[in-house]
Amino acid sequence: MSRPVFVSVRLEMTSSGTRRPLEVTWEDGRVFEITSSSYLGRRAARSAGSGECWLCRIEGQEVPLYFSSLTGRWWMDGKGDPEPPPRPQGYRRVKDRDYKPPER
Amino acid sequence: MHRTILHVDQNAFYASVEMLARPALRTVPCAVAGDPVNRHGIVLAKNQLAKKAGVQTGEAIWEAKQKCPGLILVPPDYPRYIHYSRLARELYRQYTDRVEPFGIDECWLDLTGCPKDDGFAVAEEIRERMKTEFGLTVSIGVSWNKIYAKLGSDLKKPDATTLITPANYRELVFPQPAKSLLYVGSSTNRKLRRMGVRTIGQLAGLEPSFLRSIFGVVGLSLHAFAAGLDQTPVARYGREVPIKSVGNSITARHDLYTESDIKAVTYMLTESVASRLRDAGMAARTVQIYMRDYQLYNFERQAPLPQPTQLCSEIAPAALRLIMDNFRPGQWIRSLGVRASRLIPESRLNQETYLPDEKQREAVWRLEDTIDTLRSRYGGLAVRRGISMVDRSLTEHDIKSENVIHPVGFFGP
C-alpha cells in the first residue's frame, strides 16, 4: 500500500519553458537532491490522484514525482497505509412540515 | 459514406474521480450526493460496491441509506470534475477535431478521415491511456452512427469497448429494449409498448410513415435511430451553438408558500436571467415559468412579454404574475424556474421600440447594467434587492456565477 506524501519542491524554470525539479523536502523535513529527472506526461499515481509526472533519480533510485495543476500541489508515493475511509453517518430525513419560517 | 464514430462514456464519473483522490473510498460503498440541507439530497453517482447493494443514481439519500446502511456520502466537487472532464476532452482531441461533448462525462468522436481511423484500435488505445494517465475507466462504443455508438458504450461497463458493425448490429442492437435508445423516454416507451413494440429491432421494422402518424416528425427520427440510418454529424470541438433561451431554476431551501418568498426567489432568478441576456446581447419576447410543488408535481406556463426586453424589472413582474395566476393557496412550491425565450438580437431591439417611455427604459437599462458591473467586480451578493432580505436562507445564492450549462439536446438546444 502507499499513501500520497505532499512535498515542497525546488524547481528550475528553464528559458525554453520546461520545468526541472531539483530537490524535494519530505514531510519530516529531510531534503533529497534529484540527480536527474525525465518528464513522463500525465500519469495516474500509485498512491492517489493523477497529474503531470517526472521520473526522478533520488539516491540512486527512480521514483515518480507528481504535480496537479488543479490543486497546485506536488506529491510522491510514500510507504504506509492510506487514510482509512470515513465512517458512515446516520441520516435523518428532514420533512418540510418540520420547517418553521423565521419570525418577521 | 461509412463513418467511424466513437462514444466515450466515463464510468461512474463523479464517484471515480472521488475514489481517485481518496483511494480508501474504493474499499467501501460510497456515493456522491448533493446537500440534504439545501434539499439537493439525491445520489449523483455511486461506486461498484454501492451499486451491488442496489443504490441507484437519482434516488434520495434516505432511500439509498435504507438499502445500504454503511453507505459513505461524499459531497460533489464540481471544479475537480470539470478539470478531469477538460483533460479527457484534450486527450480525445489528439485523435480528431470532431469531439462533441454530451454532458460532463460523455463525448462523441468522429474518426472518419483521420490519420488513425481504425475505430476499435483507437478505442482500445484511449481506454488504456485513460487508465494510465488519469486512473479513470471508460466504456466506449464504436459504430458508424452516433446513436449506435452511444448504445454500444452502454452495453459493456465498466472499462470495455463494444464494436457495432453492419455485420453484427442485428444481433447486438436489435434485441435491446426500445427504452435504451436515445430519445425514447418513459412516455414514448409507454406509447411504443401499447403498440407492442418492446425492442429496437421491432421499432426498426415499422414503417417510418406509420411512426410519423403517431409521433409526428420525431417518429421519423426514431425510425432512423433504431435502424442505424442516423446521419447527424459530430460537431467540431468548441463550436458555438446559438442560444435559444436563457433560464435559471432553483430548489428552494424550504418550500415557498407566501407571496413575499415567491417574489424574492422570482426576482433573484430573473436578475440572473436578465443579466445573462444582456451578456449574450439578446432580448426576450416570451417568459416561461417552471414550478414544482412539494408532491413533486411540476408544470410550466408561458406568456408573451408586452415588448422585447432584457430588463429584470420587466421580466420579473411578468414571471411573478404567471406564477401567482397558477399558484393555488395551500400549495407549497419546492422548485421554481424562470426562463426567457423567443430571443431576438438586441440590435433589433433598438429599432423596434419607439415607445413614449423609452427614456425611462433607457435609465433602467443603465441602472441594471451598472449593477452587473458592480456584481462582476465585487461578487453577486454585493448589490441586492430589498425584497431578497425577507428570508436570507432563500436568496443567498449567486445564481449567475453558479450557473453551469448542462448538456444540450441531441438536435441542438
The answer to whether residues B31 and A86 touch, using CB atoms and an 8 Å cutoff, is no
Highest-confidence segment of A83-87, A100-104, B331-335, B368-372: B368-372
Question: Do B118 and B63 share a structural domain?
Answer: no
Question: Do B103 and B32 share a structural domain?
Answer: no
Question: pLDDT of B25-37, one tens digit each?
Answer: 888 899 998 877 7
Question: pLDDT of B335-381, one tens digit each?
Answer: 889 999 888 887 776 655 556 677 788 888 889 989 989 988 888 78
Q: State mean pLDDT over B114-124.
A: 87
For chain A, the domain total comes to 1
**Is A88 within 8 Å of B80 when comparing Cβ atoms?**
no
Check whether B242 has a pLDDT greater than 90.
Answer: no
Question: Do B119 and B57 share a structural domain?
Answer: no
Question: Do B104 and B66 share a structural domain?
Answer: no
Check whether A104 has a pLDDT greater than 80.
Answer: no
Q: CATH number of the domain that B358 lies in?
A: 3.30.1490.100
pLDDT of residue B82: 87
The answer to whether residues B240 and B223 touch, using CB atoms and an 8 Å cutoff, is no
Of residues A92 and B25, more confidence is placed in B25
The answer to whether residues B18 and B76 touch, using CB atoms and an 8 Å cutoff, is no
pLDDT of residue B91: 92
The answer to whether residues B83 and A49 touch, using CB atoms and an 8 Å cutoff, is no
Q: Residue B133 — very low, low, confident or very high, per pLDDT cuts 50/70/90? A: very high
Option in A41, A44, A82 nearest B24 (CB) = A82
User: Nearest residue of A to residue B78 by CA position?
Assistant: A70
For residue A82, give every residue at least 6 positions away whose Cβ sits within 8 Å of its Cβ, in sequence order, or none. A1, A2, A3, A4, A47, A48, B22, B23, B24
Question: Do B158 and B52 share a structural domain?
Answer: no
pLDDT of residue A25: 94
Q: CATH number of the domain that B24 lies in?
A: 3.40.1170.60
Question: pLDDT of A48-71, one tens digit each?
Answer: 889 999 999 999 999 999 999 889
Check whether B403 has a pLDDT greater than 80.
Answer: no
Q: Distance from CA of residue B292 to its chain's centroid?
A: 18
Residue A17 lies in a domain: yes
**Is B23 within 8 Å of A86 when comparing Cβ atoms?**
no
Secondary structure, 3-state, B270-331:
HHHHHHHHHHHCEEEEEEEEEEEECCCCEEEEEEEEEEEECCHHHHHHHHHHHHHHHCCCCC
* Partner B contacted by A98 (CB < 8 A): no
- Amino acid (1-letter code) at residue B128: E
Question: Do B107 and B215 share a structural domain?
Answer: yes
Residue to test with chain B: of A42, A46, A91, most B Cβ within 10 A: A91
Residue B336 lies in a domain: yes
pLDDT of residue B189: 87
Residue A65 lies in a domain: yes
Question: Do B377 and B285 share a structural domain?
Answer: yes
The answer to whether residues B168 and B24 touch, using CB atoms and an 8 Å cutoff, is no
The answer to whether residues A12 and A19 touch, using CB atoms and an 8 Å cutoff, is yes
pLDDT of residue B156: 84
Question: Do B387 and B281 share a structural domain?
Answer: yes
pLDDT of residue A52: 93
All residues of chain B having their beta carbon less than 8 Å from the beta carbon of residue A83 are: 22, 24
For residue A39, give every residue at least 6 positions away whose Cβ sits within 8 Å of its Cβ, in sequence order, or none. A18, A52, A53, A54
pLDDT of residue B124: 92
* Partner A contacted by B86 (CB < 8 A): no
Residue A6 lies in a domain: yes
Residue positions counted in chain B: 413
Question: pLDDT of B87-117, one tens digit each?
Answer: 999 999 999 988 888 888 889 999 888 888 8
Q: Residue B413 — very low, low, confident or very high, per pLDDT cuts 50/70/90? A: very low
The answer to whether residues A58 and A35 touch, using CB atoms and an 8 Å cutoff, is yes
Query: Nearest-CA neighbor of A4 among B21, B105, B172?
Result: B21
End-to-end Cα distance, chain B: 27
Q: CATH number of the domain that B218 lies in?
A: 3.30.70.270
Residue positions counted in chain A: 104
Question: pLDDT of B281-321, one tens digit each?
Answer: 888 999 999 888 877 777 888 899 888 888 898 999 999 99
pLDDT of residue B412: 47
Question: Do B188 and B98 share a structural domain?
Answer: yes
Q: Which of B78, B101, B116 is the endpoint of a domain?
A: B78
Q: State mean pLDDT over B324-331.
A: 81
Dihedral of CA B381/B384/B386/B387: which sign?
A: negative
**Is B258 within 8 Å of A101 when comparing Cβ atoms?**
yes
Q: State mean pLDDT over B5-27.
A: 90
Lowest mean pLDDT among B193-207, B364-378, B386-400: B386-400
pLDDT of residue B406: 53
The answer to whether residues A82 and A2 touch, using CB atoms and an 8 Å cutoff, is yes
Q: What secondary structure does DSSP assign to A1-40, as a single string?
A: -EEEEEEEEEEEE-TTS-EEEEEEE-TTS-EEE--EEEEE
- Amino acid (1-letter code) at residue B335: S
Residue B156 is part of which domain span?
5-10+80-227
Option in A48, A88, A104 nearest B22 (CB) = A48
For chain B, the domain total comes to 3
Check whether A20 has a pLDDT greater than 50.
Answer: yes
Residue A15 lies in a domain: yes
**Is B24 within 8 Å of A83 when comparing Cβ atoms?**
yes
Residue B234 lies in a domain: no
* Partner B contacted by A48 (CB < 8 A): yes
Q: State mean pLDDT over A1-15.
A: 90
Check whether A36 has a pLDDT greater than 60.
Answer: yes
